[in-house]
Every structure is written in C-alpha cells, then in structure tokens.
Amino acid sequence: MDSLQLNFPEKFNAAERFVDWNVQQGRGDKIAIYHKDDEITYKQVLDSVNRTGNALESLGIGMEDRVLLLTFDCPEFVYTFFGAMKIGAVPIPTNTMLMPEDYRYLLNDSRAKALVVSKELLPIVLKVKDELIFLKNIIVIGEVEGTLNFSELINNFSTECETAPTSPDDAAFWLYSSGTTGFPKGTVHLHHDMSYSSELYAKGILEINENDRTYSVARLFFAYGLGNGLYFAFYVGGSIVLHPDRPQPDHVYSVLTKYKPTLFFGVPTSYNAMLQIKDAETKYDLSSIRLGISAGEALPGAVWKQWREKWGIEILDGIGSTEILHIYISNRIGKSRPDSTGMLVPGYEAKIVDGDGNTLPTGEAGILMIKGDSIAACYWNKHEKTKKTFQGEWFYTGDQYVMDEEGYFTYAGRGDDMIKAGGIWVSPVEVETTLMQHPAVLECGVVGAADNDGLIKPKAYVVFKEGIEVTDQLMEEVKIFVKKSIAPYKFPRWIEAIDELPKTATGKIQRFKLRQLAGSK
C-alpha cells in the first residue's frame, strides 16, 4: 500500500492538535491524565501547557531552541512537552537511567538552553553542571532549595499562550537513539509525525477511540512509550495513566487493577516477568484490558500463548523504531500469530534487501527498509549517519526479516552488532570499553544471548590477564563494576572466560562467531 498522505494546513502546530483540539471538541471537563491520586482534565492540561509555554518564553526560549526533559512519567512532562512545542521550541525527552557523562553529552550535543528535571535526578546532572556549555536554566519538578521550581514558575503566567507559526515540517521534538559507537543520535521529528503514527497505527490497527484509557510499561522518554502513554490517547480524546514508579511486576498489576486501562502496552520482558507472579489471577483484576501490545524486541511465542491462557488477553506484537516514531509492522486484532511480528501497517511500505540494496524475493531473509511519513527528518549533527540510514524516502532499519507469502514478517536478527535488551538498545562497544577498564580484563567481546525465557541480554566473553585466578567471585565483581560504571541495564548478565577472541586478519572482533557460540550453549 502506498504511503498515506494526511492533509495539513500551511501553519500547523502539534500541541494545538493534541491539546487545544480536545477542548475545542468539548472535552474540557473530561479526565485526560490519571496520575497517582490526581485526575486532570483536558482544560487543566491546556491551561498548564499554556502557562509552561509562557514561562519558557520568559526565560528566553524561542523558536527552535531545545528544552531537555529529564523527568519521570508525570503531568509536568506533558506540560513541558507540549508547552515547548507550542512556542516553537523543541522538547527532548531523555532516558532517566543514564550516567552523568551521558547527560553531559546529551545537553552539550543538543545545545539545550533549558533543562526540566525531576528533583530525584537533579544530583546526577549537577555532577557535570560546570561542563555544560549551553545550558542557561534548570527547572526542577519538586522542592529543592535554591532552584527554580516548576510549579512556582508556571503559576505566574497566563493560561493563554500564542501558538508559534510552525509548519507541519518544522522540528517538533527530538528523541535520542543509541548508536553502535555508543554515541546517541538526536533524531529530529517534525510536527506532522505524531499525527501519522496515531492515524496509521493507533487508529488503524488498535482502533483507539475516546473511550480508551492507556497505560504503558515503557516510559514516556522512549519513542514506544511516548505514543503509548501520551499522544495516542490525546489524538482521539482518550485518557492516559501515568505512574512514575519502576514497573516491577506486582506494581504493574496494581496499576492495571486500580486504574482499569483498556489498552496495556508492555515489552516482552515485562509480560514474562508478570507471568511469574504466583496467584496473580486471584489478586489482580485485568478485566478492563481489551488488548495487550508488545514491542521493543521480539515477543517469544510461549509468552504470547501463556498470556492468552492466563488472562484471555490477546497480545499484538509489533516492531517500531525511534526513527519511524512508532510501530510500522504489527499483528492484527483477532489474527495475531505467535513468533511473528505481523503484517505491514497500512500507510507504510516495506522492502527486504540484500547487502547491495537489491530487493529480495519473498521468503528470503534480508535487511528491512521502511517508507512512511512518520520517519524522522535526520540525525542532528550526524551527516554521514543520516545518509546511511535515511536513504531517500526509505529508512534502513538494520533489522533482518523474512516475509512469507501471506505478508507476515518474522524477525531474523540484527544486521549490525547492536543488542536489544529489555526493549532498549545496548551498544556492545560501550559495554566492551567499560569492561576493559577493569584491571583483570585483557580483552573482551559482547553479544546478545537468550535467557531461559528466550529474551535477549548482553553476554560478555572475556580474556583475563595472565596470572589472574578466574573465580565466580571475580565474575560477579566484574559485572558489578560494569553496572556501576554505565547505565545499569547495560551490564552483562553472563560472563564467560575464553582463551582468545575470534578475530579477522586485521584484528577486528568477529562478534558473529561469538553470537554463534552463545547460541550453541
């Protein structure tokens, strides 16, 4: 099917479409956000979005200026995301699980003039504050003495805010996408992109409507979570459930029972972990959920079947990406298949190519390329990466897929060395670089390996230095060393001592051989 063309006016601002529009449609008194014990209406959201936009303008934030969001899932995220967008500024939702050095890179690379940060995360940023070149203002969600308080700041401003004269093709927001070298790439999304994802996937596949209430395990700073937990529902006048606590299985069950969402967005790791909770059927109520959705990594067929047996809920597995904004291949309601990513979402086009870019026949594995109007414009400041990834109208996913005669796609691995662990990209190079800093490590190679449930996690093959006694205690020490040095989710779950690493004639690690080794164990 050809790419769908939506009609946008010459001047278009996504904040108006996703926030103001709901009030204009008569939903001002409808609950838009459930957050802890708060119920926030669309009119209250609009007022706070406008106050936030005005407050940011008062700090010198204008068209195309970047505002970094480092917040847990909360209403202030929503106000800042749309408030910045409304004045033509560019919000950048950011991973809350990183290290100080990561935030130094992100703030300097984006040249963000303002940072909105949850008070619990402020100390991490303050460790690198003196190295931040462009940052002018830090706005804190929560009470911290001597800082600019978010609530106090925005409450000084009007609930009326003039919308910037943006076009559908202006930059609306960025999301940082992990790179194979460990340096994230600022992925530039435009004002029309969220409308395309909402129209094609949320309405076209999920049949979302104003009666739906969404809850997402994936946080708002993920492309997946941003659609699930915010703009899909706002596109149709539905409601969202935001909860900042870590999505541990019992907590997720409690949220589902309390707030009764109709659409539950998980990732394979969370679905699997929830299945392990004993007697969950007697303790929790999931009767409100009409559909489960999974993405981030391939959903094991066994998990799909167990969920259906345990809860009577169908899970639609799919694949999306930061660059395409959300899901572009998905299973269909009533037609989902275990161990399949599903079929192409109508409005997108796909082709599977070989290493030279030639289209392969049906049934042959190759690299998946996607065409559609939610694709990002470019990577910020990454010209070569942009050219390799955004090839004309096509996006080079790096994922290997096979399509059968019926149009169902099956995941066949990565075309590069990136690891998808718990739905989050992990660069093996970054993990290897960190491992090499441990005094006992001579060299190492990191690949993805499946755990007992078929979920992928980092595994390290390590050559230890001569004279080092390799013990279980040493292995645990090395794991903890990595966990404390970089974002904790990146640490290797297994470490295997090896005499030498497989290498090319030029000395490059052959990770494909390590992947074969990991798969044979």
Q: Please report, for the domain that includes residue 235, its CATH number.
A: 3.40.50.12780
Q: Which of 189, 216, 234 is the last residue of a domain?
A: 189
Q: Are residues 338 and 209 in the same domain?
A: yes
Cβ–Cβ contacts within 10 Å for residue 358, how many?
9
Q: For 276-309, b where at least 16 C-beta lie within 10 A, e where not — what string? A: eeeebeeebebeebbbbbbbbbbbbeebbeebee
Tell me, yes or no, whether 142 and 66 share the same domain: yes
In a domain, 32, yes or no: no
433 and 402 in a common domain: no
The pLDDT-based confidence of 180 (bands split at 50, 70, 90) is: very low
33 in any annotated domain = no
Average pLDDT over residues 193-222: 97
Work out the average pLDDT over 363-389.
94
Domain shared by 136 and 56, yes or no:
yes
Residue predicted with more confidence, 352 or 178: 352
What residues are paired with 349 via a beta bridge?
Answer: 371
**The pair of three-digit structure tokens given for residue 251, joined into one six-digit string:** 């907590």
Q: What percent of the chain has pLDDT over 70?
A: 97
CATH at residue 131: 3.40.50.980
- Domain co-membership, 391 together with 463: no
Place of tokens 């401003």: 157
Would the pLDDT of 268 be above 90?
no
What domain range is 453 assigned to?
419-520
Q: Is the distance from CB of 111 to CB of 86 less than 8 angstroms? A: no
Residue 356 falls inside a structural domain: yes
210 and 295 fall within a common domain:
yes
Kindly report the average pLDDT of the chain as a whole number: 93
Average pLDDT over residues 34-62: 98
Any idea what the CATH number is for the domain that residue 450 is in? 3.30.300.30
pLDDT at residue 418 greater than cutoff 80: no
Based on the fold, state whether residues 261 and 347 are members of the same structural domain.
yes
Based on the fold, state whether residues 403 and 293 are members of the same structural domain.
Answer: yes
Render pLDDT for 58-109 as a digit per residue (tens, 0 to 9).
Answer: 999 999 999 999 999 999 999 999 999 999 999 999 999 999 999 999 999 9
328 within domain boundaries: yes
Confidence of residue 2 (pLDDT cuts 50, 70, 90): low
Do residue 296 and residue 423 come from a single domain?
Answer: no
Tell me how far apart the alpha carbons of residues 150 and 19 are, in angstroms, rounded to a whole number: 20
Q: Is residue 106 part of a domain?
A: yes
Quick check: 45 and 78 in contact, CB under 8 A? yes
- Report the share of the chain in percent with pLDDT over 90: 79
Predicted local confidence at residue 3, as pLDDT? 56
Residue 350 has pLDDT above 80, yes or no: yes
User: Final residue of a domain: which of 189, 215, 230?
Assistant: 189
Q: Is the domain of 125 the same as that of 165?
A: yes
> Of the candidates 164, 189, 214, which is a domain's last residue?
189
493 and 454 fall within a common domain? yes
How many domains in the chain? 3
Domain assignment present for 273: yes
Q: Are residues 180 and 311 in the same domain?
A: no
Whether the per-residue pLDDT at 182 is higher than 60: the answer is no
Q: In this predicted structure, which of 52-66, 167-181, 481-495 has the lowest mean pLDDT?
A: 167-181
Burial class (CB in 10 A: 0-12, 13-18, 19+), 273: buried
Q: How confident is the model at residue 466 (pLDDT cuts 50, 70, 90)?
A: confident
320-338 burial, b at 16+ Cβ within 10 Å, e below that, comes to bbbbbbbbbbbbeeeebbe
For range 469-475, the mean pLDDT: 95
**Is the pLDDT assigned to residue 247 strictly greater than 50?**
yes
Q: Averaged over 21-46, what is the pLDDT?
A: 98
First and final CA of the chain: distance in angstroms? Answer: 42
> Is 463 among the domain residues?
yes
Q: Would you state the torsion angle of the CA atoms of residues 214, 215, 218, 221, taken in this order, to the nearest 10 degrees? A: 70
Indicate if the alpha-carbon torsion angle 501, 503, 507, 509 is positive or negative: negative
Q: What pairing do the DSSP bridges indicate for beta strands 171-177 and 148-149?
A: unpaired
> Is 5 contained in some domain?
no
Q: What pLDDT does 181 receive?
A: 47
What is the rounded average pLDDT of the residues 208-235?
97
